[in-house]
Amino acid sequence: EAGVVQSPRYKIIEKKQPVAFWCNPISGHNTLYWYLQNLGQGPELLIRYENEEAVDDSQLPKDRFSAERLKGVDSTLKIQPAELGDSAVYLCASSRGQGADNEQFFGPGTRLTVL
Amino acid sequence: AQKVTQAQTEISVVEKEDVTLDCVYETRDTTYYLFWYKQPPSGELVFLIRRNSFDEQNEISGRYSWNFQKSTSSFNFTITASQVVDSAVYFCALSEAFTGGGNKLTFGTGTQLKVEL
């Protein structure tokens, strides 16, 4: 079974430029999560999808961040425009079932550097 | 609000030593789940264990063992006879269920474990 796929693995951009990250979850996983991980910190949830619906985006800075999961499979997270403070690792995860005992499977992440 | 504290930022041990990683959590939920994840240098978080709030039995899996004590809100992780391949950042996480599916993980800040020869 293939794991969660993310691309690109690394991205370096200048501030004020747009950037997009792509995630393909494990086949059959209806729930998809985007996390932000700052250096030396644990991941923090940005947005959660159930199929194509964003059911929790309360932590997503909506002035510059957007996300979509149009067909309920892969997903794109966008930042426009990027700021210096956006430099971090962006992790995607997916899970199959429902409930608090769900195991989330994580991708390798995209490391973003904003210059 | 849920909170997970991993007070140990970094631990260094020599191979074959035993090491314990501490995790203390806060929650108002009566039903919850605790997780441990490993993050090697490659960056991908790897699931290690899940424990529900009603099961306080300790668990052992090979060189790994977990001690869950509800009375002290702790879920500590011990690696016996550590190996260089155990070097990674270890995260403890607390889960709350979302209505309609999925769960929200609240992570601690992680403990960097370095195992040297």
Calpha distance B68→B62 (Å, rounded): 17
Q: Do A43 and B45 touch (CB under 8 A)?
A: yes
Strand, helix or coil at A13? strand
Residue A92 distance to chain B (closest CA, Å): 10
DSSP 3-state helix, strand, coil percentages of chain B (rounded to 5)? 5, 55, 40
Q: Give me the residues paired with residue A89 across strands.
A: A37, A111
Interface probe, candidates B103, B106, B107, chain A, greatest A C-beta count within 10 A: B103
Q: What's the pLDDT tens digit per position in B48-104? A: 999 988 888 888 889 999 999 999 999 999 999 999 999 999 999 998 766 555 678
Report how far residue B108's alpha carbon sits from residue B103's, in angstroms, rounded to the nearest whole number: 16
Min Cα separation B113/chain A (Å): 13
Q: Please say whether the dihedral angle defined by the alpha carbons of residues A111, A114, A74 and A46, taken in this order, is positive or negative.
A: positive
Q: A108–B42: do the CB atoms touch at under 8 Å?
A: yes
Give DSSP secondary structure letters for B87-102: -EEEEEEEEEEPTTSB
Q: Count of CB atoms within 10 A of residue B117's CB? A: 7
| Predicted local distance difference test score (pLDDT) of residue B79 | 96
From the list B20, B110, B105, the residue with the least C-alpha distance to A101 is B105
**What's the CA gap between B12 and B105, in Å, rounded?**
27
Give the pLDDT score at A70: 85
On the question of a cis peptide bond just before residue B41, with omega within 30 degrees of 0, the verdict is no
Q: Which of A90-104, B4-18, B32-46 has the lowest mean pLDDT?
A: A90-104
Whole-number Cα distances in Å, B35 to A2, A93, B32, B66, B88: 22, 15, 10, 10, 16
pLDDT above 90: percentage of residues in chain B: 71
| Residue of A69, A103, A105 to mutate, testing the B interface (most B Cβ within 10 Å of its Cβ) | A103
Containing A113, the helix (H) or strand (E) segment is strand A110-114
Share of chain A above pLDDT 70, in %: 97
Q: What is the pLDDT of residue A102?
A: 80
The 3-class secondary structure across B16-28, one letter per residue, is CCCEEECCEEECC
